[in-house]
Amino acid sequence: MDTHTPKFKVRLGIFVAGGLAIFIFAIFIIGKQKNLFNPVLKLNTTFYNVSGLQVGNNIRFSGINVGTVDNIHILNDSTVIVEMLIRREVQQFIKTDCVVAIGSEGLIGDRLLIITQGGTNTPLAKENQRLLSVEPVETDAIMASLQVTADNAAIISDQLAEIMVKLNNGQGTLGRLISDSTVADNLDETILNLKKSSKGLNENMNAAKENFLLRGYFRRKAEQAEEKKEDAGEK
């Protein structure tokens, strides 16, 4: 093909123009995500472990994307500095007592930073302000805790099963009470005897009240009880 023909030159120009348009569009998208074309507020915070957070991840405030992670670098063996770019129009809501936490986009989504709301009368955060942070809970720690819980549940289940076997076999006081009818009959007989004893005691008390020698005693007790009721009513 002749590279000097007008048809080839037109195709070459269309190809170059298309590539340039795609390049400009990509720069615009990346710049928008990085807030390169908007005035931004630079803030930073520190973590012991960023838990997979990466440069370019979103920053949310009240559930709205307000910026991106600009840089992550290690300060020492126990501190990682995370630099943030926040859109300037959101600065009026970012207070010095806001706290930064690491979250995720859903259950298995990308990591992101979450800025909590600050106090009503707290001063606004300034350029290069360092905000407090909350360390993320690692998935490994959650899984370890769940494993301990599962192990404890298994131990309790085994113990309950052992107790039920003993009950069914009539072992122990409760097992004998459940499985041995003799014990149950003795318990019923004991309850009946207690009821009879209580009935006899009531009859004896009534007979004592009818005795003319004890009438004065019971009358005084009744009068004293009535006086206590009257005093309580007056108070």
pLDDT in tens, 4-55: 666 666 676 677 777 777 766 666 555 555 555 567 889 999 999 888 899 9
Query: Based on the domain organization, do 60 and 16 belong to the same domain?
Result: no
- pLDDT grade for 178, boundaries at 50, 70 and 90: low
Q: What local confidence, expressed as pLDDT, does residue 18 receive?
A: 77
Residues 124 and 76 in one domain: yes
Same domain for 131 and 43: yes
49, 108: one domain:
yes
What percent of the chain stands above pLDDT 90?
Answer: 25
Please give the tally of structural domains in the chain: 3
Q: Do 108 and 186 belong together in one domain?
A: no
Print burial letters for 152-183: b (CB count within 10 Å at least 16), e (below 16): eeeeeeeeeeeeeeebeeeeeeebeeeeeeee
Same domain, 184 and 203: yes
Structural domain that includes position 184: 180-234
Q: Is the pLDDT of residue 114 over 90?
A: yes
pLDDT for residue 72: 93
Report pLDDT digits (tens) over 134-169.
887 666 566 667 777 877 887 888 778 777 777 677
Q: In this predicted structure, what is the pLDDT of residue 98? A: 94
User: Is residue 159 situated within a structural domain?
Assistant: no
Whether residue 126 is found in the same domain as residue 206: no
Domain-located, residue 29? yes
Last residue of a domain, one of 121, 136, 151: 136
In a domain, 89, yes or no: yes
* 47 and 26 fall within a common domain: no
Q: Residue 67: which of 53, 40, 86 has the closest Cα?
A: 86
Going by C-alpha positions, the residue among 75, 71, 69, 67 that lies closest to residue 47 is 75
Same domain, 68 and 129: yes
pLDDT-derived band at 83 (thresholds 50, 70, 90) equals very high
Is the residue at 164 inside a domain? no
Q: Summarize pLDDT for 187-228 with one digit per residue, the tens.
A: 667 777 777 666 656 655 665 555 555 556 556 666 777 777
pTM: 0.49
Of 53, 29, 57, 59, the closest CA to residue 41 belongs to 59
86, 111: one domain: yes
11 and 95: one domain?
A: no
